[in-house]
Chains A and B, each alone.
Chain A
Amino acid sequence: AQSVAQPEDQVNVAEGNPLTVKCTYSVSGNPYLFWYVQYPNRGLQFLLKYITGDNLVKGSYGFEAEFNKSQTSFHLKKPSALVSDSALYFCAVRDSKDNYGQNFVFGPGTRLSVLP
């Protein structure tokens, strides 16, 4: 069974500084990896995904993520953080060996606070 870990419950960063939100995963096949963001009182919003190809994936709002197969990681990054990026971030994984939607596993979430 696949699993995903987000080792940090909380990440604090100053506005204008680069940010990283960490995610590691475990699958038996090849991973399909996703990042979502959740603002207060809202549903999850899709940011980006890695299926295959270039290890650096670019997504919405200036976010990008780097797939690292040897380290089984898919960290979310942004070169310059904004106060409006403050939210809850979820990493999710699916296994290429699963044909259908069951076993879509979400991490516990990391709360990002960008300080002005």
Chain B
Amino acid sequence: ETGVTQTPRHLVMGMTNKKSLKCEQHLGHNAMYWYKQSAKKPLELMFVYNFKEQTENNSVPSRFSPECPNSSHLFLHLHTLQPEDSALYLCASSQDERVMEEQYFGPGTRLTVT
């Protein structure tokens, strides 16, 4: 699709489970992002990485833990989630973090917390 892949596409987990979401971009970009998309709510930026360094954490609960081992890969580690965390989690990348750069999104992981 857009050069940004996400796995898994669907995930159902209990509140006591630990799971990870994976994102990979094949575009040679240097910035990567995690967003949360919930029904009836605007897209929420969660984390930003620029050249593997985290530059933004928008007051996200500690049960969400990002990891960026290199500029092409981004993970979101999940543990002890709540039902209200059920949402579509989108990964995106851009050339870098400058404000005029557009972002390219992956297809998302549909997360359901039971």
Task: Say whether A and B bind each other.
Answer: yes
B75 on interface, CB distance cutoff 8 Å: no
Task: Give Cα distance in the complex from A36 to B37, angstroms.
Answer: 14
Contact present for B99 and A100 (CB under 8 Å): yes
Residue total for A at the interface (Cβ-Cβ under 8 A) = 26
CB distance from B107 to the nearest CB of A (A): 5
Which residues of B have CB within 8 Å of A49?
100, 102
Contact present for A100 and B105 (CB under 8 Å): no
Task: Give Cα distance in the complex from A99 to B50, angstroms.
Answer: 13
Residue total for B at the interface (Cβ-Cβ under 8 A) = 31
Which residues of A have CB within 8 Å of B102?
34, 46, 49
Partner-contacting stretch, out of A62-70, A74-82, A89-97? A89-97
What are 7 of the A-B contact pairs (CB < 8 Å)? Answer: A32-B99, A36-B105, A41-B110, A43-B4, A43-B105, A100-B97, A101-B33
- Scan B62-104; emit 1 where CB is below 8 A from any A CB, else 0: 0000000000000000000000000000111010011110111
CB distance from A65 to the nearest CB of B (A): 13
Contact present for A46 and B103 (CB under 8 Å): yes
CB distance from A22 to the nearest CB of B (A): 16
Contact present for B4 and A101 (CB under 8 Å): no
Contact present for A96 and B99 (CB under 8 Å): yes
Contact present for B105 and A101 (CB under 8 Å): no
B17 on interface, CB distance cutoff 8 Å: no
**A90-B43, A100-B55, A106-B43 given; A41·B107 CB < 8 A:** yes
Task: Give Cα distance in the complex from A65 to B24, angstroms.
Answer: 31
Contact present for A44 and B97 (CB under 8 Å): no
> Which residues of A from 16 to 74 have beta carbons under 8 Å from B?
32, 34, 36, 41-46, 49, 51
Which residues of A have CB within 8 Å of B106?
43
**A43-B4, A96-B99, A108-B42 given; A101·B107 CB < 8 A:** no
Contact present for B2 and A45 (CB under 8 Å): yes
CB distance from B74 to the nearest CB of A (A): 14
